[in-house]
């Protein structure tokens, strides 16, 4: 057995917390786990990609095109950029929000229209406005845990284990907001 989860977004969106929660949870379940991240220059507002792989035995730390069972996208355009990595019939969870890249801001390129429709053609799609939910819960930064909630609901891992891992992973100061954000995502 092997499952591949890809987390994509824009540098600074909190994708690393999402991969840490996943890594901790899957390790505690006794799987072989590999989590691969990008550090350094691309973190500065560029596209960021994290790979989380688990199963009986994992070799490569990266996910290649056509290999992701689930893609968790923190931004619409990044979801579309990651689409080739999705396995046929794979699940794509997308925060239906646009963060404009610099070439679009400067007018050198245009932000594509109709991304959600395009994604729906190829994926088992769950699109939501995670930022609106996070802001309702009380902190825009909780977008990552809202999305983790949606992801959790699409797996067969018991909810209590997710909650337990979030408790063990996030700082106590932000725990209440993160648990509320998870709950909203999970029950969406």
Partner 1 sequence: MKKLLLGNAAVARGAYEAGVGVVSSYPGTPSTEITEEMAKYEGMHVEWAPNEKVAAEVAIGASIRGARAMSCMKHVGLNVMADPIFTVSYIGATGGLVFCVADDPGMHSSQNEQDSRHYAKAAKIPMLEPSDSAECKEFTKAAFRLSEEYDTPVFIRLSTRVSHSQSLVELADPEEVTLKPYEKNIPKHVMMPAMAKGRHVVVEARTEKLRALAETDAFNKVENNGSRVGVITSGVAYQYAKEALGDTVNYLKLGMVYPLPEKLILDFAKDLDTLWCIEELDPIFEEHIRALGVTVKGKEHFTLLGEYSQNMIREVVAGEKTPFVTSEKELPGRPPVMCAGCPHRGTFYVLKKLGVTVSGDIGCYTLGAVAPLGAVDTTICMGASVSAAHGMSRAGGEETNRKLVSVIGDSTFIHSGITGLIDIVYNKGNNTVIILDNSITGMTGHQDNPTTGKTIRGEATKQVNLVDLCHAVGVDRVRVEDPFDLKGFEKAVKEELAADEPSVIIAQRPCALLKTVKYSGHCVVDADACRGCKMCMKLGCPAIMFRDGKAVIDHTQCNGCGLCTSVCAFGAIRKEEK
Name the site residues for partner 1 (rule: CB under 8 A).
Answer: 10-12, 23-24, 27, 32-47, 51, 58-62, 64-67, 77-78, 80-81, 83-86, 88, 99-112, 114-115, 118, 122, 131, 140
For partner 1, give the closer residue by CB, 101 or 185: 101
Residue in 146, 118, 151, 121 with CA at minimum distance from that of residue 133: 146
**Shortest gap between Cβ of 182 and partner 1 (angstroms)?**
20
Q: How far apart are CA 83 and CA 101, in angstroms?
A: 18
For partner 1, give the closer residue by CB, 61 or 187: 61
**Shortest gap between Cβ of 54 and partner 1 (angstroms)?**
10
Task: Report the helix count and the strand count for the chain, using DSSP H and E.
Answer: 8, 6
**Shortest gap between Cβ of 61 and partner 1 (angstroms)?**
4
For partner 1, give the closer residue by CB, 70 or 86: 86
Q: How far apart are CA 25 and CA 54, in angstroms?
A: 11
For partner 1, give the closer residue by CB, 32 or 183: 32
**Shortest gap between Cβ of 69 and partner 1 (angstroms)?**
13
Dihedral Cα 89, 13, 158, 6, nearest 10 deg: 30
């Amino acid at each position: 057995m092997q499952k591949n989860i890809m987390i994509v977004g824009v540098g600074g969106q909190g994708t690393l917390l999402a991969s840490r929660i996943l890594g901790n949870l899957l390790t505690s379940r006794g799987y072989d786990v590999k989590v691969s991240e990008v550090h350094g220059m691309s973190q500065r507002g560029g596209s960021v990609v994290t790979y989380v792989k688990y199963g009986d035995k994992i070799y490569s730390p990266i996910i290649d095109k056509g290999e992701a069972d689930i893609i968790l996208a923190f931004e619409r355009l990044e979801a579309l950029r990651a689409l080739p990595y999705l396995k046929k019939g794979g699940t794509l969870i997308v925060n239906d929000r646009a963060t404009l890249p610099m070439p679009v801001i400067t007018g050198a390129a245009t932000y594509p229209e109709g991304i959600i429709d395009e994604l729906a053609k190829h994926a088992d799609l769950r699109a939501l406005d995670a930022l609106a939910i996070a802001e309702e819960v009380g902190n825009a930064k909780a977008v990552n845990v809202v999305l983790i909630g949606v992801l959790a609901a699409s797996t067969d891992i018991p909810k209590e284990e997710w909650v337990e891992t979030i408790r063990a992973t996030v700082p106590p100061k932000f725990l209440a907001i993160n648990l509320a954000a998870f709950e909203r995502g999970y029950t969406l």
